[in-house]
């Protein structure tokens, strides 16, 4: 899941290896490895769907799941780049807590007049997050202080400031409704809803036929647009490869992949549509995921981050400004930590001193479950996102099952260890 090429024999005699059928086989093996993680997620979902007697996929629970875990995934996007570039950031949970406190103080306590508007506050908070990232990244990039130490210091510092800001153990709230929409709101239904089979009610007021299910049509439409766009761009990339005379993956594999992904996406979209539509935070997250996939896969800056993580000296001698790039990676992490903090505060409706406490570990775990290497240079955005969802589904599923929180941690720890062991074992075998 972490490399693009298939397993490559170690010896130089590889030159003699025949191409042709082997390419197709290796493409399949590669894809199996790449999709192994997604298959694992699906397996975990099916497992909990069964053990929770169908509660997991209930529309209301799906919305909860997204709202509870989106901040982990948002921060995991930044953490992926940090880890790929060969660093770590332990401060994200504290920074998120601090930003939540800052936002609450600005909106509720401090007399800022027009500046206490949720949108203005959010923008200021994101900027502050970026500045925190820059402050930490500065020491890491230009003074070569190990990121573990700098961000460990940051973890203590910002948790402390967060608590001081809130005046000891108290919480600050309630936050304005407009702000809470970031986490608990749904996209407005501009097209209008559709009642699937209008219920027929008998004289006694009992429904005889029809479920009375209403669908959030804007959600359905957005879902269809996204799926069509996904298929279109996939097809276009394939065509482009073929036009330039390069082998693409086998067509059957492409079709299966596209169909399965689309079906899964449409199923989830349908579930959301039967409830209140897409949560706003899911849309924010989706846009960010797409952006980061694009940046890491297609943009020069993404490529340079991977090169820096793979061999910093070689990258530097290839003309890459590694110090500035490291700084940028940490600024990005700071902004996303701030966004994570806003999402947490919006979900709770208030700022609490313990907001985001320990979440850095969930975020880091998500990235490693997603196949990133602790040595740097290896890791995929989609992997980190799926890793985040695996953590989220386990949290949610075990909570519904009534598993004790203590044991939930044990299970999550084992899953993290298992995923990485599996990954390392796989790589060695290849």
What are phi and psi for residue 215, nearest 5 degrees? -110, 140
> In the complex with other proteins, which residue's Cβ is closer, 132 or 325?
325
Angle between helices 177-184 and 322-348 (to 10 degrees): 110
**Residue 261 CB, nearest distance to other proteins (Å)?**
20
Read off the DSSP letter of residue 241: H
Of 180, 158, 39, 35, nearest in space to 102 by CA: 158
Contact 197, 213 (CB under 8 A): yes
**Residue 105 CB, nearest distance to other proteins (Å)?**
38
Of 262, 228, 234, nearest in space to 248 by CA: 234
How far is Cα of residue 118 from the mean position of the Cα atoms in its chain? 24
> In the complex with other proteins, which residue's Cβ is closer, 239 or 407?
239
> In the complex with other proteins, which residue's Cβ is closer, 39 or 317?
317
Q: Is 32 among the residues that bind other proteins (CB under 8 A)?
A: no
- By rule CB under 8 A, what count of residues binds other proteins? 45
> In the complex with other proteins, which residue's Cβ is closer, 10 or 206?
10
**Residue 165 CB, nearest distance to other proteins (Å)?**
38
Q: Is 15 among the residues that bind other proteins (CB under 8 A)?
A: yes
375-398 in b/e form (b: 16+ CB < 10 A) is: ebbbbbbbbbbbbbbbbbbbbbbb
Which listed residue (334, 377, 387, 392) binds other proteins by CB under 8 A? 377
> In the complex with other proteins, which residue's Cβ is closer, 276 or 321?
321
Restricted to residues 212-271, the positions that interact with other proteins (CB under 8 A) are: 237, 240-241, 244, 246
**Residue 10 CB, nearest distance to other proteins (Å)?**
5
Restricted to residues 294-323, the positions that interact with other proteins (CB under 8 A) are: 298-301, 303-304, 306-307, 310-311, 313-321
**Residue 18 CB, nearest distance to other proteins (Å)?**
9
> In the complex with other proteins, which residue's Cβ is closer, 25 or 411?
25
275 three-class SS: coil
Contact 276, 216 (CB under 8 A): yes
For 59-96, give the DSSP string.
HHHHHHHHHHHHHHHHHHHHHHHHHHTT-----HHHHH
Q: Is 17 among the residues that bind other proteins (CB under 8 A)?
A: yes
The residue written with tokens 């008998």 in the block is 202
* Degrees to nearest 5, angle at CA 190 with 187 and 195: 95
Cα separation, 312 vs 335, in Å, equals 24
**Residue 88 CB, nearest distance to other proteins (Å)?**
18
Q: Is 47 among the residues that bind other proteins (CB under 8 A)?
A: no
Quick one: which segment of 206-214, 363-371, 372-380, 388-396 binds other proteins (CB under 8 A)?
A: 372-380
> In the complex with other proteins, which residue's Cβ is closer, 263 or 314?
314
Q: Is 388 among the residues that bind other proteins (CB under 8 A)?
A: no
For 329-388, give the DSSP string.
HHHHHHHHHHHHHHHHHHHHTSB-TTTTTTHHHHHHHHHHHTT--TTSS---HHHHHHHH
Quick one: which segment of 74-82, 252-260, 293-301, 363-371 binds other proteins (CB under 8 A)?
A: 293-301
**Residue 296 CB, nearest distance to other proteins (Å)?**
11
- The residue ranges that bind other proteins (CB under 8 A) are 3-17, 19, 22, 237, 240-241, 244, 246, 298-301, 303-304, 306-307, 310-311, 313-321, 373, 377-378, 430
């Amino acid at each position: 899941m972490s490399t693009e090429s298939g397993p490559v024999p170690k010896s130089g005699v590889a030159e003699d290896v025949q191409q042709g059928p082997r390419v197709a086989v290796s493409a399949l093996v590669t894809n199996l490895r790449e999709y192994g993680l997604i298959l694992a997620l699906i397996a975990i979902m099916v497992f909990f769907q069964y053990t929770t007697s169908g509660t997991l996929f209930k529309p209301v629970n799906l919305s909860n799941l997204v709202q509870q875990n989106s901040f982990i995934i948002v921060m995991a996007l930044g953490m992926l780049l940090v880890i790929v570039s060969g660093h770590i950031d332990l401060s994200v949970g504290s920074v998120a807590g601090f930003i939540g406190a800052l936002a609450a103080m600005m909106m509720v306590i401090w007399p800022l007049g027009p500046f206490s508007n949720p949108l203005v506050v959010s923008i200021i908070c994101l900027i502050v997050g970026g500045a925190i990232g820059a402050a930490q990244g500065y020491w890491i990039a230009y003074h070569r202080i190990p990121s573990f130490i700098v961000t460990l210091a940051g973890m203590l510092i910002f948790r402390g400031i967060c608590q001081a800001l809130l005046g000891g153990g108290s919480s600050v709230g309630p936050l304005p409704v407009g702000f809470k929409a970031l986490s608990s709101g749904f996209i407005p239904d501009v097209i209008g809803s559709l009642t699937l089979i209008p219920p027929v009610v008998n004289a006694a007021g009992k429904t005889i036929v029809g479920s009375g299910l209403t669908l959030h049509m804007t959600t359905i439409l957005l879902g269809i647009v996204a799926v069509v766009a996904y298929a279109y761009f996939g097809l276009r990339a394939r065509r482009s490869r073929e036009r330039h005379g390069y082998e693409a993956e086998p067509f059957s594999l492409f079709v299966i992949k596209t169909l399965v992904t689309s079906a899964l996406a449409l199923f989830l979209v349908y579930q959301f549509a039967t409830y209140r539509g897409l949560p706003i935070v899911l849309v924010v997250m989706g846009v960010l995921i797409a952006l980061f996939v694009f940046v890491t896969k297609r943009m020069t800056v993404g490529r340079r981050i991977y090169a820096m993580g793979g061999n910093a000296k070689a990258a530097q001698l290839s003309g890459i400004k590694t110090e500035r790039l490291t700084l940028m990676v940490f600024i990005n992490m700071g902004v996303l930590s701030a966004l994570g903090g806003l999402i947490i505060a919006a979900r709770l409706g208030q700022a609490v001193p313990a907001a985001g406490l320990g979440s850095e570990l969930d975020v880091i775990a998500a990235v490693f479950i997603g196949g990133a290497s602790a040595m740097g240079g290896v890791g995929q955005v989609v992997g980190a996102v799926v890793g985040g969802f695996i953590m989220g589904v386990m949290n949610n599923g075990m909570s519904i099952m009534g598993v004790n929180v203590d044991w939930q941690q044990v299970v999550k720890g084992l899953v993290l260890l298992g995923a990485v062991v599996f990954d390392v074992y796989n790589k060695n075998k290849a």
